[in-house]
Amino acid sequence: MNETLALLMNHRSIRKFADKPVSEDQLKTIIAAGQMASNSSNVQAYSVIAVTEAGLKKRLAELSGNQAYVEECPVFLVWCADLHRLKYCADLHAPGQPTYEDTAENLIVATVDTALAAQNAAVAAESLGLGIVYIGGIRNRIEEVSQLLELPDRVYPVFGMCVGVPAQEPMLRPRLPVEAVLHRNRYDGRKHAAEVARYDETMSAYLRERTGGKQDTPWSRLMADRLVQPVRMHMKAFLENRGFFRR
């Protein structure tokens, strides 16, 4: 186990932050590390908005489902898939020619680029002694978030990320067994029954310890409950209206 692996294996989401700032040097280093992530054909189809204004963080916390740590963290990063910059390049060098930024493929490219950069940034932040938590709730009221941050067409907020000095040390959340996600040569769905059952036991034990015996719902039950509920059904229409996912 080397230092890098130890850092990765010790990741946990931080939702309480000390009243200490993230310095400008730290912020730039974190973003620069994010930029060094792999991306598709060097398009680098993402942008990051670092939110530090108290009033703006408060409003974003409300729009994200009243998650207090969005307001309380010193820096809230909004990671955006960004095809607006690429459209500028096309208009600069190929004015008048049809462009295809609105395809499903380019939506995938921009979203994946954003996620890869963000995860690099998360690891960089943790290497500096900071903590992070991803905020998917930024998509709950995504049109209002986009207007608040003055996002142009062809840019959408994929997720937020709270960054700051940790003020808690939560338990490590167990992951699925490696064999549940690692397939060899071909996909093997026959393993689901055994591996999911094994993980259900692990997660039930974890929840009992974390909640003092108040909860022990198996993971598979939680996932079933999640899948039978419609979540953020506005996303397709939002993306189409913003110039994504039309073809």
Query: pLDDT tens for residues 102-124?
Result: 999 999 999 999 999 999 999 99
- Gap between the Cα atoms of 124 and 171, Å rounded: 21
Q: How far is CA 242 from CA 49, 139, 143, 155, 171, in A?
A: 18, 14, 9, 7, 39
Mean pLDDT of 40-57: 97
**Secondary structure class of 140 (helix, strand, coil):** coil
Per-residue 3-state assignment (H helix, E strand, C coil) for 46-64:
EEEEEECCHHHHHHHHHHC
Give the residue extent of every domain in the chain: 3-170+231-241, 178-216
Average pLDDT, the chain: 97
Give the whole-number percent of the chain exceeding pLDDT 90: 100
Question: What stretch of H or E contains 105?
Answer: helix 104-127
pLDDT tens readout for residues 133-182: 999 999 999 999 999 999 999 999 999 999 999 999 999 999 999 999 99
- pTM of this structure: 0.95
Identify the pLDDT of residue 33: 98
Residue 195 pLDDT class (50, 70, 90 cuts): very high
Our measurement of the distance from residue 159's CA atom to the centroid of its chain's CA atoms, rounded to an integer in Å, reads 5
Q: Please classify residue 132 by burial: count the beta carbons closer than 10 Å to its beta carbon, then call 0-12 exposed, 13-18 middle and 19+ buried.
A: buried
Q: What angle do CA 217, 218, 223 make, to 5 degrees?
A: 100
Give the whole-number percent of the chain exceeding pLDDT 70: 100
Residue 48 pLDDT class (50, 70, 90 cuts): very high
Q: Which CATH superfamily is domain 3-170+231-241 in?
A: NADH Oxidase (3.40.109.10)
